[in-house]
Amino acid sequence: MTKFKIGMVKLLCALTLCGSVFLVGQAQAQVKLAEGNWNPAVKAKLETIITENAFQGKKAVFDFDNTTICRDIGEATFAAMVEAGKLTLEGVSREITPSFVLGDKKVSLDTAESLPEFYEEFLSATKHQNGEKTPYSNSYAWVVQIMAGMTPDQILPFSEKAFGNNVAMKDAGAADLFESKINGYRMPFFYPEMVDLYGTLLKNGYDVYVCSASNIWTVRWMVSVNLNKLIEAKHGKGIGIAPDHVIGVNVLLKDKRDGKLYKDQLLVRNNPKYAAMDRGELSNYELTSQIVYPITGYFGKVANIIKYVTKERPFLIGGDSSNDLPMLDRAEHRLWITRLEKMGYQKGLVDQINDSLPGNWMIQPVLYKKAPGFVASEAQLKKRLGTKASKLDKTMDVVTYLKKNGQLIGF
């Protein structure tokens, strides 16, 4: 080998080494989340684990309602449909809607005063059974099944009305402000801290998914059109969640052009217009009443993660309710959005922590009714609910319970 060739080889080796050092340095650069109202211990832990595992393609999965957003877009969309007369007691199929006894009361579409009243009672229909751990599964399915005959593009205007372009963000101002509602249901808004977390994960090479128990078309619209816009505004153009990374409750779709039946998770991978939520393309698909299984609720969330995300343990999973505990248990790291108005959920959390696979739990308190949003400390909680003594007492009971059980240390 000539001296020239030897010199070139040495130069290329040096450049390769420099590049490797640069990439390692880049991957290990300390991640910093925006301040927001994170529990300081949770923020520090997230920054550490994101930094240490960056650019490895690790999987992160988040629930949507009351985790990514404050409140529930699926229920708010349902409420908007009822308000507009798109869904009515008379129009809902009796074939897919059971009558039942709740306590001493007979419940049916014929006796209910409103469709939301029936829905709320249906949520509790099986709670009387000992050992019932998945009480809401049938309601998650039913509230999508009753949309049979509609097309996905007909659902979206009601989601737009229920979301109101993040208008409910103003509710976070103070406890005595009016709560933004639509037909009795609270309107949702994006937690700014979660928007930043999504963007931070994506910028650092993580593969991010949403797994929701609301109807898929509403949630995908919320992610593709609204969440991604917020992420791009904060973290840069082109950073966002892919349409096929959004998983939700869905039914078989009949293509009115050929009469064939289709599944959402295959359509979104193979039909670019469908994936882009092109309204014209969506109008070609009619919802049937046949649920596509596994449904994205409780252990069905685990099944969907195995089917569409990874057969391995995901790196990070975030959730807020008993519906999310089965999938949270599978993660290496778990972000629990702690609704301080929900003592029952926190008791379920403690039970799960005491009987879970090895892994790290991060507990982030939030409010979702009065003065909604992330809560950074006990002092901040008292300041925000200072004018609402009964609500403050209720939430402080939750804080005390969690601290007694080894959670929220330093909050």
**How high is the pLDDT of residue 152?**
98
Q: How many CB atoms lie within 10 A of CB 1?
A: 8
Classify residue 244 as exposed, middle or buried by CB count within 10 Å of its CB (0-12, 13-18, 19+).
Answer: middle
**How high is the pLDDT of residue 53?**
98
**How high is the pLDDT of residue 177?**
78
Contact predicate 69/190, CB 8 Å: yes
**How high is the pLDDT of residue 26?**
46
Q: What residue spans of 73-146 are helical by DSSP H?
A: 73-83, 115-122, 137-145
- Percent over 70 (pLDDT), the chain: 93
**How high is the pLDDT of residue 63?**
98
For residues 176 and 193, the model is more confident at 193
Given a cut of 70, is residue 12 above it in pLDDT?
Answer: no
pLDDT digits (tens, 9 = 90+) for 215-249: 999 999 999 999 999 999 999 999 999 999 999 99
Q: Is 55 helix (H, G, I), strand (E, B) or coil?
A: coil
User: Which domains does the chain possess?
Assistant: 37-78+149-404 (3.40.50.1000), 88-145 (no CATH)
d(CA 103, CA 125): 9
Given a cut of 90, is residue 78 above it in pLDDT?
Answer: yes
Look over the chain and give the mean of its residue pLDDT values, rounded to a whole number.
93
pLDDT digits (tens, 9 = 90+) for 15-61: 443 443 334 444 468 999 999 999 999 999 999 999 999 999 999 99
**How high is the pLDDT of residue 188?**
98
pLDDT digits (tens, 9 = 90+) for 199-212: 999 999 999 999 99
**How high is the pLDDT of residue 174?**
78
Query: What's CA 243's distance to the chain center, in Å?
Result: 14
CA nearest to 201, candidates 233, 246, 241: 241
Tell me the sheet residues that pair with 365. 338
**How high is the pLDDT of residue 247?**
98
**How high is the pLDDT of residue 324?**
98
**How high is the pLDDT of residue 28?**
66
pLDDT digits (tens, 9 = 90+) for 95-146: 999 999 999 999 999 999 999 999 999 999 999 999 999 999 999 999 999 9
Given a cut of 80, is residue 302 above it in pLDDT?
Answer: yes
Given a cut of 70, is residue 311 above it in pLDDT?
Answer: yes
Q: Output the pTM of the full model.
A: 0.92
d(CA 220, CA 241): 10
Q: Rounded mean pLDDT of 143-156?
A: 98
